[in-house]
Structure formats: structure tokens, C-alpha cells
Structure 1
Amino acid sequence: MDILIILTPNFNIAATMGFIDPFRAANYLDGDAIFHWHFASLDGGPVPASNGASMLTDPLADHDRKFDLVLVSSSWTPERQFNAAMFSALRRHAHRGSVMGGLDTGAFLLAKAGLLKDAKATVHYEHIDAMIELFPDTEVTEDLFVFDGKRISCCGGGAAVDFALHILRQACDDRLANMAARYVFQQNLRPEGAQQNPGMIEPLGRAAPALVRDAIKLMEQHLEDPLTISDISDQLGVSPRRLDRHFEKSIGKGPATYYRDIRLDRARGLVTQTDMPLATVAVAAGFNSQAHFSKSYKSRFGLAPRDDRVQGRIPFEYRAWPMHRKVGRHDTP
């Protein structure tokens, strides 16, 4: 199996290496080079990763031939890679019949190249809202990874290992996939359809009470047209006071503050990942007043939306502002 991995500046190197390692393990364990991979970028040379490391690549033009899989590994600011040469290369590979994949935000480039029309895809959850707004003809999901015929995608992070093991399993068999999974210490292979944020159990094993989970679900369903805390309490059959106590105990902030914060988090994705007018972003996050939106945004993220549109497109390690400022429990939503 011949794999071409196209890197863009500020790609996630951990996800990219996580994707490759099961194939390396399979080659070693099988005693044969079943899988071959090549790293390329538009111009070749070293490509910086989001953590400050870099990786040497070949010019993309040097690999203008048929591959079984072409995977775009992108993370921060995928829109900066929107250019004719990249799209032309991606379309050529697709025309040759290659499976086209995206890792982390790689699906943005595939969609912009016109390769995800009426297809299903996923990206890192931080970029989901932007993907939905920019590409309405793509079915965007919050799955860890998606296999939709010759169009596949993965949200990145540790899910890249699961993603690769499913590809390995399809290309070879369960025996080799199991051996490779054991070799890289992937003890449980997450299935297709597994969610990025399943919501039931926290990674360290603690779970929020059912009441809090149900309240959060209602909040997430009403980001653009927010409910009052009294409305949420009524729907759940509890008093606002009881709901507040449960939120404070399990999350460390009241429901009003939590609700405001997730609306602002949605807004930040749209501010930093799209060129939507800020007034439109405010409405999408449930704020009727632009001034109130800007003030709340600056309180949470440390800078105004207009400034974050520039700063937020810089990888976090190089940013001058913290991603989230600490706020008090009594801040008004």
C-alpha cells in the first residue's frame, strides 16, 4: 500500500506520527514492507509543526503519480493553504482514483478543492462549526474518524492511531491489525461512529451527574437561541438553585457562566477559523448585542474578537494571550 502524506505549515506532528506508526509496526511484525509512505509539501523542504518541531518533505510535484491513499495533514489555519497549486494536485490524485483523506483539519482542504461535495467528513472539534459554515454541501460529523467510500477523515490526536489501524485492517486482516495494535500499545480499537466527546465519562474516569449532562445537552442544542436557566430547570424538573449547586460541585462554575462560555467557545472557532462578519458571529453565538459580545469575548479570551481574528490564527505556543482567562462564578452571562 502506497501512502502520500501532504503536510501543511503548523500541522500536528503527534497525530501524523501516530497515524504512521501502526504501518511501521505492521511492516516490522510481518517481515515485509507492505506499506510505503512519503511526506510531501507544496514546495518541499522543512515544514514547521504546531509544536515548534519541523519535518523534511519532498516537493509535492515529485510525487505526481498514483497512490493508494493521499492524506492531507493540516492543523492551524488550513485556509492559508487554499491555493490553486494545492487544489490542482489534490484533484489530480482524486482523478487517478486514490483514496483522499484528511487528518485534523485536512478535510478543509479537500472540501475547498471540491472533493467532499455530498460526502461525510470530520475535523477536530474546535473547527467543527467553521467547517459546517464554510462547506454546507459536506456532512460534517463529530465522529473520531469517517470512512465514506474514497473519502476518509480523522479528527487528529490519539484518534489517528485508531484511524490507521482500521485502514490496516481493511488492507490486510484482523491478525496483523491486532499485532500492530498490541505493538504500539493501543489496547482498545475504537469503532467507527465513536464520538470525539462522548460526554458520559471524563478521560480520568469521573462523570458529571446526569442532571448536569442533561442540562449541558440542552445548552448545546440552543447556542444560537439560548434558553434561560429557568427554562432549562423547568425542562429538567428541578429548581434553578438545585441546578446551580450541581454545576458548582461538578464543574466549578454556575450554569449561566458555563452556558455563556460554551457560546463564546463556539464564537471563537468562527472568529479564528472563518471570515464571517463579527456581527454574524455574535448572533450565531446567541448574543443580540455586539457590544455585549465583544466585552464577554474579551473577558474570556483576553482580547477582543477583532484582535483574536489575527492572534488566534497563530499556533498557541506562539500566542501572546492565554486561550482562556479565569473568570469568577458570579460573572454575568
Structure 2
Amino acid sequence: MLHRHLRLSIIATGVLAAASAPLFAADLPIREPGAAATTPGGVYIWADGSAQSVRLPTFDLGTRLLPVAPGSGISAANTYDPRITGYGVSGGLGFVLPSAVSLSNIGTNGRIEFSGSYVNAAASQAATTVSTLGSGYSLPQVGGLTNLAGSVACGAGASCIVSSTLGISYSSWQVSGRYATDFKLSGVTITPSIAMFGGKSRNSQTLSETNLVFGGAASVRYDADTRLDWTDWGARAGLSGSVPVTDWLTFVAGGNAGLAARRVSLTGSDSANAFTAGGIPIFTPFLSATTSGKTTTAFVANAEASVVVGLAPNWMLRAFGGLNYDNKVPGVSAPAVALPFGSGGPSTPAGIKYQAETSYYAGGGLTVRF
């Protein structure tokens, strides 16, 4: 029989992911056929579905506050640490090499597999912060200017109340080609493998923020849209082990690790405006935009455990759970402002940052061998 390991994100990070993962950002793990086939040669197909929990880098665009406490620095009014949920689907086609092929002589059941995966996840989160009396606020925009700043606007008994909502939409796909073989050792089947992979991930984030100032006599509205796109090309090595529990039940555990050449691009735009208590705009909104790109090399890894049930000689059902790690999930770095706060002053434009993230998944699938 052939047992197999999952290919699903998370990529993510980042970004995701990203992931891919990641997760994908985020990374999509390699499927591991576990036990050996009973005859040389053959073809198998598989399909999986899973629930995904994708971790993405922190997001902290929007209002900056200056606390009253001595020695305190500038801080984001609201900071998000997103974990989003969604689904993953994957499938593949594998070929067990006949004995005439040289690679089939390394271990047993040498096989080549081609597979693809897709992950989609989303979330909406909200946060509210009440500033310290006597503090000031500043609103650096993604394009590199500071607007709607007030050094004492939150003081004198009129605290600023900053409320925001962040919407996140994440997707990741990946394709892979992989070679694996089996070695028997005291009743355990050890399966080493090597794979080449490529894919693309996207993380779109939308922030809507309202800052009530001067005791609610006026409000500042800020809206930002950012999108991170990244592509991965790389290789990884895997190792898994399968142990038969009964004639129809097998336990499989393993993982993989590798490197991905990652190219990331960021596009962002925002608007800031002030309104009277009656909702009348005080002036034309301040608009800004930014674009940037980076390249890096990310370390991606996966660990997974599964239980395989033999429904028939060539039909297998599997339940699994695992995690994906990515040390450089792309995220958005917020513009930086300096004291003293002031409207119209320069700031650092929003850019690309990286964070290490771990995502999780669980699901089930079916394998059929012909």
C-alpha cells in the first residue's frame, strides 16, 4: 500500500505567509507515501481537505500616541497580531517506478509525485484604545508624511479614543515535484524524500480607524489598504516513519525542511481626514501611496502526524494534523515618526518586514492506487 503525507499551508506568513504560508509564508508541506507498494510499478492519486489556522506578522498602521509617563516612547494606538482561519485543498498524482528504472533500486518503491495545493483564509478584528490624559497623537501615512498631528489634543480631560477594524484576506498556492523511497527497519518503514517547489501568496489588509479628539468635538478618520504579494522557489528534504498498528491501521509521523528564494512586493494607499461633531469634513482628505519590493531567503519547515485506515487493498483514508514554520513571513512595517509631533513633517514610508510564524492545520483525505 501507499500511505502519504500532506501538502497544505500555511504558509503563511506569510504571508504568510505568506506567509505561505506562509504559509505559505507561507510553506506547503510535502505529502509522504508511507508504507511500500505490494507490486513494482503503479500509479496513485490523492486528495485532501483541511481546516487552516494561519499566523501573520503584526499590523500597526494608524494613529501614534505619546503617553504622559516620563521615559515612555511613541506607540501605536492599536496593534494587531493576526491569526486567521480558513480552508486548504490539495491533490496529486504519483508514479511508483518500475524495477528497470535506476532510481527504483534505491530502497524500495521509489516514486515520483507531482502535486498542488491551495489555501484561503480570512478574518476581521477590532480594537479600541483610550489615550492617557495629556498625551498627544500623530498620524503618519504610508507615503511618508505626518498629518493630523496634535501635541496636546488628547489632554485637559479630553482623552482620544482610537477605535479600528482590520480586515484580512489571505491566499496561497503551490506546486511541487518530489522523489521518495522506502527503507524497512525492524517493522518501521522509513521514507526519505527530496522535492522542488514553487508558489505564490497574497495578504491583503484593510484598516478603518476613527480617533475621537477634543472630548468628541471632532474626529479623525483614517483608512488604509495594503497588499503583499510574494513568490517562492526552493527545495526541501523530508523524512517520515510509518508503523503498522493493525492490518488495517497505520501511524505515520515526520516532517521536512528547506529553503525558499522569496521575492516580495508591497503596494499601499491611505487617506486621512478630520470631521466636526456633526460629521462635516473640515478639509480635503490627505492621500498617500507607496510601493516597494524586497528579496530574501526563507527557511521553511513542517511536522505532521497522521493515522491511515485501509478501506480496501488499494483505498486508504487518512486523518492528520500538523504545523508549518516560516522564519520570514512578509508583513507591513509602519511609518516611523519622531518627536515633537507636527503636521506635515516627514516620516519613513511604510515598507516590508519579516517575522517568524507558525501555522497549524488538521483534516482528512483519500488515496487510491491503481
Q: Do they superpose with TM above 0.5?
A: no
Relative contact order higher in (CA < 8 Å, ≥ 6 apart): 2
The alignment's TM-score, normalised by the length of structure 2, stands at 0.19
Higher helix share: 1
Q: Which has the larger radius of gyration?
A: 2
The alignment's TM-score, normalised by the length of structure 1, stands at 0.20
